[in-house]
Amino acid sequence: MKINPSGYQVQPFFPLVSGKYYTGPHITLSNSSYLVLDDTFVAYPFWLPVAASFDRMGTRSVVAPTTSGTARFGVYRDDGTCYPGDLVQDIGDAQEQSLLGAEGDKLATVSWTLPPDHYWLAFIATFVGGSPSIQGCVATQMLNLMGLNQIDIAATTSLTRDAAIIGSYTWAPGDDLPTPFPTAGMSRSAGTASTALLPLIVLRAL
């Protein structure tokens, strides 16, 4: 905790601004879209050093499925081993987001206050028809929170890092997100600076 010249404690984090969108601190936007995979659970770290309230959670649809498509979002608390553990917040049945329609924001209305902790933002979707996609992002803005897989820092084009937890999980609209986060079928997704494409998952500060 930094102490400023006046003697007041200063949190090592800028305050969250109402109406702004936030995601993992290791995430930066990509010009590429993330191709949605049916029944595939994705989660990546979200560090929150100060208590904060949020009123939206979601993503941005780019290409819609042709027949049907639904997405669900949630927040997990880290289990102490750099892995998502217990479910903290789930957007719920009524706020599941349809992936049909024109390109645009897919945001669930929530009313959450999260205490300081290490969290994971989670996303899962199921669809029928076509190849839907949403806004993509990459974990290249900083040395990844999940650790490097090699230390050849000069080889930036091939430097690999774990970017997220990804795996197959059977889910249907109306199903609650599982708690704790599943381990069977899940793996740490490793990629290079150019290949670790992830779905953008955001929370909007209240």
pLDDT in tens, 75-93: 999 999 989 999 999 999 9
186 forms beta bridges with 167
Return the C-alpha torsion angle 124, 37, 135, 155, nearest 10.
Answer: 110
Q: Which residues, 6+ apart, have CB-to-CB distance to 24 below 8 Å? A: 44, 45, 46, 47, 121, 139, 145
Tens digits of residue pLDDT in 97-135: 999 999 999 999 999 999 999 999 999 999 999 999 999
Tens digits of residue pLDDT in 37-52: 999 999 999 989 889 9
Q: What is the mean pLDDT of the chain?
A: 86
128 forms beta bridges with 68
Does residue 67 have a pLDDT over 70? Answer: yes
Of the listed ranges 21-25, 128-132, 157-161, 169-173, the one predicted with least confidence: 157-161
Q: How many helices (H) and strands (E) are present in the chain, helices listed first? A: 0, 16
* Cα Rg of the chain, angstroms: 17
pLDDT score for 2: 46
- The gap from C-alpha 150 to its chain's centroid, in whole angstroms, comes to 24
